Amino acid sequence: MSSGKKNNQTIKILHADDEEAFRSQVSELLQIKGYAVDVAVDGVEAINALQHNGYDIVLLDINMPKVDGLEVLRFIKERYPVIEVIMLTGVGDVKVAVDCMIQGAYNYIVKPFMAEELLQVISRAVERHTLLFENSIMKSEINRLSRSSDLVGESESFKNMLSIAERVADAEASVLIQGQSGTGKELVANFIHKRSSRANRPMVAINCAAIPDTLLESELFGHEKGAFTDARAQKQGLIELANNGTLFLDEVGDISPIIQPKLLRFVQTGEFRRIGGTVSLHADVRIISATNKDLKSEVQENRFREDLLYRINVITLVIPPLKDRKTDIPLLVDNFMRRKFLHKTPKLLDPQALDILMEYEWPGNIRELENVLESAVILSRGEVIQPSDIMLPHSRFTKMKSAGEVPGFIGELLSLKDTERLHIQAIMKHAHGDKKVVAKILGISLKTLYTKIAQYQLS
């Protein structure tokens, strides 16, 4: 989500008050200022509206028939904690209004009030709502993805792909991004979102392959209290959090056939139901999907719905693998070094070390390149990364075998244990026996490393 204030046009306000003349005056004022406004005549109507629509701010009269403002406040704070509530009260209800603030209301205004007073309180409430909302959708992850400098490349294939992405960014059509693992599909999705008309609303991302089917449905659509054993409270799904913004479905090809019909219905109509719910909800969300699978083949194998593919695949972007854009490797290396040494002088790469990177086929793409550079930075002793600091599987084991240091290398018929032993041995050699460095490169704890050293009798 972008920093700073939202535009008024993106702010949706619910005003609940039983006085018709007062409702009309407030609604007209807010609409003139560009806010989208819904009204409710009592607490019951307010709760119904909250269950069917997404709001940023709620103006609540304290004294309303059927269900009063205090009960509606409790309902909101239990289910929609990021909504900011402003209580509207008469002079004699100020003590009650203060109690409401203790229970989570943002502020209160005593009737009658000046228009400017209301607008100022709403403006401050919007700022607070923005901060809370950013936290609820994992602001740190979104900020990581928002760095446009991470999309680096001057190769023709990469520039063509990025040019198409820029042209379709401001359209509302669904986009499917295809590419191998590690090519930066999520960065491209974020690039599109940041250049769309929804840029000041959230981009919510979910990796469909990383979450079990039983949890994925709850993550997407939310659930009602008591819907299943661990559902101790109502939960909003990511679709609701992404309302008026973008939903990024990473590895969409891994969505279970059981969930696909429910996702299709949402993509077609914008409507969905929480697990265990009976009320249809609505969200205005742009869908951007990504996959490393051939979804047409998945359709032929009856693993993916053809009608869902058509819905999410209005526009297709194909990210070229790193092996097809090797001229971008020096730029990617420079970009990584600058980010790695943000407040220091970046390390340089020996020309021969760069040659090694240029010759490698990079099956893991940019993600693998960054991992190799990360380990090279750790292993290098000086300010220049040497060829011996580059830890690539084939080149490393081939060099070691030619030197008579190990009995085999990748591609030979070795057991898994032998391969692990040789791998640890190679990294220990290049790390000059520094076990903390070795453990960090391997991604294991020191305790696990010592166990492996004892198991394989390494010194």
Based on its alpha-carbon atoms, the radius of gyration of the chain, rounded to whole angstroms, reads 28
Say whether pLDDT at 177 is over 90.
yes
**Contact at 8 Å (CB) between 443 and 371?**
no
- The pLDDT value recorded for residue 438 is 85
**Contact at 8 Å (CB) between 203 and 242?**
yes
- The pLDDT value recorded for residue 137 is 55
- The pLDDT value recorded for residue 354 is 92
- The pLDDT value recorded for residue 339 is 84
pLDDT band, very low/low/confident/very high, at 10 (cuts 50, 70, 90): low
Average pLDDT over residues 25-45: 92
- The pLDDT value recorded for residue 144 is 45
What is the distance of C-alpha 145 from the center of its chain? 8
> Positive or negative CA dihedral for 5, 11, 14, 17?
positive
pLDDT digits (tens, 9 = 90+) for 184-221: 999 999 999 999 999 888 889 999 988 888 789 999 99
pLDDT digits (tens, 9 = 90+) for 308-341: 999 999 999 999 999 999 999 999 999 899 888 8
> Letter for the amino acid at 401?
K
- The pLDDT value recorded for residue 224 is 87
pLDDT band, very low/low/confident/very high, at 436 (cuts 50, 70, 90): confident
- The β-bridge relationship of strands 222-223 and 235-236 is antiparallel
Q: Which residue has the higher pLDDT, 236 or 145?
A: 236
CA proximity to 181, closest of 248, 250, 256, 249 = 250
pLDDT digits (tens, 9 = 90+) for 366-421: 999 998 998 899 888 889 999 888 888 654 444 444 444 444 444 444 567 777 88
Q: Which two tokens stand for residue 153?
A: 């490349």
pTM over 0.85: no
Lowest pLDDT segment from 13-17, 146-150, 288-292, 295-299: 146-150
Question: H/E/C letters for each residue in the chain?
Answer: CCCCCCCHHHCEEEEECCCHHHHHHHHHHHHHCCCEEEEECCHHHHHHHHHHCCCCEEEEECCCCCCCHHHHHHHHHHHCCCCEEEEEECHHHHHHHHHHHHCCCCEEEECCCCHHHHHHHHHHHHHHHHHHHHHHCCHHHHHHHCCHHHCCCCCHHHHHHHHHHHHHCCCCCCEEEECCCCCCHHHHHHHHHHCCCCCCCCEEEEECCCCCHHHHHHHHHEECCCCCCCCCCCEECHHHHCCCCEEEEECHHHCCCCCHHHHHHHHHHCEECCECCCCCEECCCEEEEEECCCHHHHHHCCCCCHHHHHHHCCEEEECCCHHHCHHHHHHHHHHHHHHHCCCCCCCEECHHHHHHHHHCCCCCHHHHHHHHHHHHHHHCCCCEECHHHCCCHHHHHHHHHHCCCCCCCECECCCHHHHHHHHHHHHHHHCCCCHHHHHHHHCCCHHHHHHHHHHHCCC
Q: Which residue has the higher pLDDT, 62 or 52?
A: 62
Lowest pLDDT segment from 49-63, 106-120, 136-150: 136-150
Say whether pLDDT at 145 is over 50.
no
Distance CA 266, CA 243 (A): 12
pLDDT digits (tens, 9 = 90+) for 264-302: 999 999 999 999 988 899 999 999 999 999 999 999 999
Say whether pLDDT at 236 is over 90.
no
Q: Which two tokens stand for residue 334?
A: 């420079």
